[in-house]
Amino acid sequence: MEIITNTYEIDNISYSLSKYFDSNTVFFDIECTGLSPRKSYIYMIGYAVRLGNIISITQLLAENESEEIEIISEFETIIRKYDKLLGFNSTRFDESFIVERCKKYKIDTEIKKKTHIDMYLVTTKAKCLLDLPNYKQKTIEKFLGLNRKDEYDGGQLIPVYQHYSISKDPKSKELILLHNYEDIKGMIYIVDILAYSDLLASELRFIKKEIADDKLRFEIETDISLPSSINKIRDYGMYIIKNNRIYVTLNISKCSLYTFLPDYKNYYYLINEDIIIPRSLGESIDKSERRPATRKECKVMAAGTYVSLPKGIDAGSVRVFKTSYDSKETFLSVSDITEVILIKITRYMLKH
Q: Is 65 helix (H, G, I), strand (E, B) or coil?
A: helix
pTM, whole model, 2 decimals? 0.84
Q: Within the chain, which residues score under 50 in pLDDT? A: none
- Classify burial at 347, counting beta carbons within 10 Å of its beta carbon; exposed 0-12, middle 13-18, buried 19 or more: middle
- CA 75/CA 111 separation, integer angstroms: 10
- CA 346/CA 204 separation, integer angstroms: 9
pLDDT at site 155: 80
- Residue 50, beta-bridge partner list: 55
Q: What is the DSSP string of 114-138?
A: SEEEEHHHHHHTTHHHH--S---HH
Chain centroid to CA 238: 18
pLDDT at site 149: 67
Do residues 123 and 193 make contact, with C-beta atoms less than 8 angstroms apart?
A: yes
Q: What count of other Cβ atoms lies within 10 Å of the Cβ of residue 102? A: 20
Q: What CATH architecture does domain 2-196 belong to?
A: 2-Layer Sandwich (3.30)
Give the start-to-end residue ranges of the domains of the chain.
Answer: 2-196, 205-261+298-351
pLDDT at site 151: 64
Going through 112-204 in order, the beta strands assigned E by DSSP cover 115-118
Chain centroid to CA 246: 15
Q: Is 251 helix (H, G, I), strand (E, B) or coil?
A: strand
Residue 248 phi, psi (nearest 5): -110, 135
pLDDT in tens, 108-154: 999 999 999 999 999 999 999 998 999 998 899 889 988 766 666 77
